[in-house]
Structures are given as C-alpha cells and as structure tokens.
Amino acid sequence: MRGYKLKTLAATAALLATTSLAHAEDVEVLHWWTSGGEAAALNVLKEDLSGQGIGWQDMPVAGGGGTEAMTVLRARVTSGNPPTAVQMLGFDILDWAEEGALANLNDVAAAEGWDEVVPEALQAFAKHDGNWISAPVNVHSTNWVWANKAILDELGIAQPTSWDEFVVALEAVEASGKIALAHGGQAWQDATIFDGVVLSTGGIDLYRQAFIDLDPEALVSDTMVEVFDRMATLRGHVDENFSGRDWNLASAMVINGEAAFQIMGDWAKGEFINAGQVPGEDFLCFRVPGSEGTVSFNADQFAMFGVEGDDAVAAQNAMAASIMSPEFQSAFNVVKGSAPARTDVPNDAFDACGQQAMADLAEAADSGTLIGSIAHGHANRAAVKNAIYDVVTAHFNGEFDSATAVQELVTAIEINQ
C-alpha cells in the first residue's frame, strides 16, 4: 500500500509540475482580430511565441474597433481573472493603468531599449507615471481610401486629389451602376470615416481645437457644419444594405469589384493582402482627399495585466519582448497593414501602401500633423469618444441635419467630459 501511495504521490507531483510549467508558460490573450487579414497577422505572433515555448490561449471577442472586447475585459477583471495580455487602444490603456490593473514592464523595456525607438505619440499611451505598462504592436491610421483599380480604369477615373474630385468620382461610379462607397453602418465605422472628413474639411487645426481641446466654439463652427454636410454626402453614396455590415465585408466589396471605394483604417489593407491583391495593380491606397499631409493614428498595444507567479510574469515579459523585436515588427505589420511601432524598422519588406504609411507617419510626426484618431480611442477617453459616436452615427442615419448635429455634439461632449 505504502509503495502504491508513494508512486501515486510522485506521479501527481510530476504531473502538477509539468502542468503548472506548461500552464504558466501560456499567455492568455484577449483581442478582436477576427477577420481574415487580422487572423493572418495574429498567427505571426502566435508562431513567434510558440518558437519560444510560450503557448497561446486565444480569447477572441469579435467586433471591429474593440467595443465588445472592452466589455468582456471589464467582466473578466471584475471577476478577478484578467487575461495575461489585452489588445487595447490609447486612452483605454491609461484608464486601466489608473486603476492599477496593469503590470510594470520597465525591466523588459530597459533591456530592449524601447525608450529610444518608440515614437513619443505611442509612449504617451504605453507609459503611466513614467512606467511602461503596455507593448505597442503597430501604428495604424484611419484617413485612408481604398479603391478598386479596375473600376477606376474602366470608368476613366483618376485618383481624386481633392474632396470635390472625390465626390465627382463617387457620382461617376454611381452612374455606372456600381456601388460607389462600400461601408458598414456601425458607429465605430461611421466615426472612422469622420476622422478623415474632419481632417479633409478643417485640417489639423480644426481637428485639434474641436476634438483634442474640445473647444465649444470649434465644435459648433461653420466648418464643423460642413464636416457633417460632407458626411451626409458620403451617406448618399453607400448601398442600401450598408447598415450593420462588418468592416471586412465592406473591404471584400472593393476587393471583388462590387464597389469602388472604402474609407477605412489601413487594417483594411490586410484584407486586400490576404486576398492576394497587390497595391497599384489591383487596388489603390490614398489619403482621404483633402487630408493629405495629416495622419489620424491609432496604435494597437498589448496592455499587460498583473499576473501571479514567476513563470506567468516571465511569459508575459517574453511576449512583450517578442512584440517589440524589430524582426517581429516587420513580419507582423507587413501582414497587418499597419506601420511598425518602432522607428528603426527598415521598410524594404513593406509594399507601396505600407511604405507610404511609414513615410506619412514620419513626416506627420516631424511636422506636427500626426494626431490621435477620434474613432479609435486616441483623442479622448471612452465616455467622450462614445458621445461623439452617438452624434456622428445619428446624423449619418438621418436623425438630424448638420446644423443640429453640431449642437448635439457640443452638448454630448460637455455632458461626458
């Protein structure tokens, strides 16, 4: 009996040791990268970690822009069971840092020299009280147009270089019987279009005064009325089934030649790449006409939550180091459609759109025309962002006219500041 018991105890101890080691080496990652292009990019990270013996417990929460993911995260943390790492944007990271929920990554940041290579615009959201609490994965930007080149060629439409030319192009496509603007009627997508239209209409100054400074005069200005008028113009060029459509299905409409244009962040490019399409041959990428020279950015980061146990912390730090390695930054962002989150990654692996994204970001950062996306949590905290979502999407759906929209906007922002 005694021998049996000892044998059982030894076996149990060995199993626990193995299990606990295997379990601790896993990272549980909450994210919303569920489209084809996003999943392809995510696989680059999974494989990178697997090569280091770090297992991946996947926790996908579908829903573009991450609203649903943040709701699930709140529930997980409230139940005292946070994931190891969470895809997160801008001010949401700072909110969680202020709650004391995030881990300190200073050791890995110092070892890897993050302070020297991560742009200030990203450090503003990756550090709290001087401590690194998040690992930046990329830099996306939202004021992009994606165009089906065959349709433009067939209709003799040149790449629009002004808002008026863009409207003429939309009308020409509409007249041909094709869908002019592929769009998904979801608040975060309406707001994503809004980023580029504000920049196109009022430039970096209006954008900053109205949506960073939240200056009431800027918010109700005649220029802001014109912004909403332009949103109404775009509403007039979407198809009748746009409401509720997921963003990647709108991208697919441009990819397959059903529609000519989509205004969307450059994660859309990941869909074109995933479909085997080539910039300049199958599709065009260009800044929302009128917004050239400015960039509304949103950086995906993996916010690292406080975890227990040396092995769990070691796996979390290894994931952070992996994410920020130059090799990973190139391999991942080439697939994701974004630019690297560090300034020392060569652009030679990137296609023409990726190289333009990298050049635009560097130029905008140097000239003070790089600004946080309203739609993707880099301009304001969630309460203000969601208040803007509500007004933009209500106007887009025809609930009120542009003059009313600016009044609704200034009121909604004042209430939620």
Residues forming the site for ligand GAL (CB under 6 A): 32-33, 38, 64-66, 89, 140, 247, 267, 298, 300, 376
| Residue with Cβ nearer ligand GAL (209 or 380) | 380
| Residue with Cβ nearer ligand GAL (235 or 336) | 336
* Nearest-approach distance from CB 300 to ligand GAL, in angstroms: 5
What is the spatial distance between Cα 363 and Cα 171, in angstroms, rounded to a whole number?
A: 32
What is the spatial distance between Cα 95 and Cα 76, in angstroms, rounded to a whole number?
A: 16
* Nearest-approach distance from CB 184 to ligand GAL, in angstroms: 10
Amino acid present at 10: A
| Residue with Cβ nearer ligand GAL (228 or 247) | 247
* Nearest-approach distance from CB 255 to ligand GAL, in angstroms: 16
How far CA 417 is from CA of 122, 211, 221, 324, 410, in Å, comes to 23, 12, 19, 34, 10
| Residue with Cβ nearer ligand GAL (89 or 273) | 89
User: Is 55 in contact with 28 (CB distance < 8 Å)?
Assistant: no
* Nearest-approach distance from CB 355 to ligand GAL, in angstroms: 19
Amino acid present at 152: L
The CA-to-CA distance between both ends of the chain, in Å, stands at: 70
For residue 190, count CB atoms less than 10 angstroms from its CB and return exposed for 0-12, middle for 13-18, buried for 19 or more: buried
What is the spatial distance between Cα 358 and Cα 155, in angstroms, rounded to a whole number?
A: 31
* Nearest-approach distance from CB 83 to ligand GAL, in angstroms: 17
User: Is 162 in contact with 381 (CB distance < 8 Å)?
Assistant: no
* Nearest-approach distance from CB 39 to ligand GAL, in angstroms: 11
Nearest residue to ligand GAL, using CB? 64
| Residue with Cβ nearer ligand GAL (87 or 209) | 87
Please write down the long-range contacts of 94-98, taking CB distance under 8 Å and 24 or more positions apart. 94/125, 94/128, 94/381, 95/381, 95/382, 96/303, 96/305, 97/128, 97/129, 97/133, 97/134, 97/303, 98/128
β-partners of residue 289 are: none
| Residue with Cβ nearer ligand GAL (267 or 305) | 267
- Enumerate residues 6+ apart whose C-beta is below 8 A from 87: 29, 30, 31, 32, 33, 66, 69, 137, 300, 301, 302
For residue 131, count CB atoms less than 10 angstroms from its CB and return exposed for 0-12, middle for 13-18, buried for 19 or more: middle
| Residue with Cβ nearer ligand GAL (64 or 136) | 64
| Residue with Cβ nearer ligand GAL (286 or 297) | 297
| Residue with Cβ nearer ligand GAL (218 or 264) | 264
DSSP symbol at 52: T
User: Is 193 in contact with 227 (CB distance < 8 Å)?
Assistant: no
Paired sense of beta strands 144-148 and 283-287, if any:
antiparallel
| Residue with Cβ nearer ligand GAL (38 or 112) | 38
